[in-house]
A and B are shown apart, each in its own frame.
Chain A
Amino acid sequence: MKERFLFPYWFKYLGIVLFLAHLPIYIIKKMMHVQFDNNDPSLFSGQHLFYMATALTMVIGLLMIAFSKEKIEDEQISQLRLESLKWAICFNYLLLIISLTFTKGYDAIDILRVNLWLPLMVFILLFRWKMYALTRLLKNN
Chain B
Amino acid sequence: MKNSIRIERAIKNITQADLAELIGVSRQTINTIESNRYVPSTVLALKIARVFGKPVEEIFDLEDTD
Q: Which residues of A contact B (CB under 8 A)?
A: 1, 70-72, 74-77, 134-135, 137-138, 141
Alpha-carbon distance between A77 and B38 when the two chains are bound, in angstroms: 11
**B55 interface residue (CB < 8 Å to A):** no
Q: Which of A1, A71, A76, A138 has a CB less than 8 Å from the CB of B38?
A: A76
Q: Beyond the given A75-B29, A77-B29, could you list 19 further A-B residue pairs with CB under 8 A, ordered by the A residue number? A: A1-B24, A70-B26, A71-B26, A72-B20, A72-B24, A72-B25, A74-B24, A75-B40, A75-B41, A76-B26, A76-B32, A77-B26, A134-B28, A134-B32, A137-B31, A137-B32, A137-B35, A138-B27, A141-B35
For A1, the chain B residues whose CB sits under 8 A away are 24, 43
- In the complex, A1 Cα to B47 Cα: how many Å? 11
Contact B29 A137 (CB under 8 A): no
Contact present for A74 and B31 (CB under 8 Å): no
CB-defined interface of B34-60 with A at 8 Å, one 1/0 digit per residue? 010110110110000000000000000
Interface residue count on the B side (C-beta < 8 Å): 16
Q: Given the complex, which residues of B lie within 8 Å of A138, measured CB to CB?
A: 27-28, 31
Output the nearest chain B residue to A135 by Cβ-Cβ distance: B28
Residues in chain A near residue B32, CB distance under 8 A: 76, 134, 137
Interchain CB contact under 8 A, A74 and B29: yes
Per CB-CB distance, the 8 closest pairs between chain A and chain B, nearest first, are A74-B25, A72-B26, A76-B29, A134-B28, A138-B31, A74-B29, A138-B28, A76-B38
A81 to B25: give the CA distance in the assembly, Å: 15
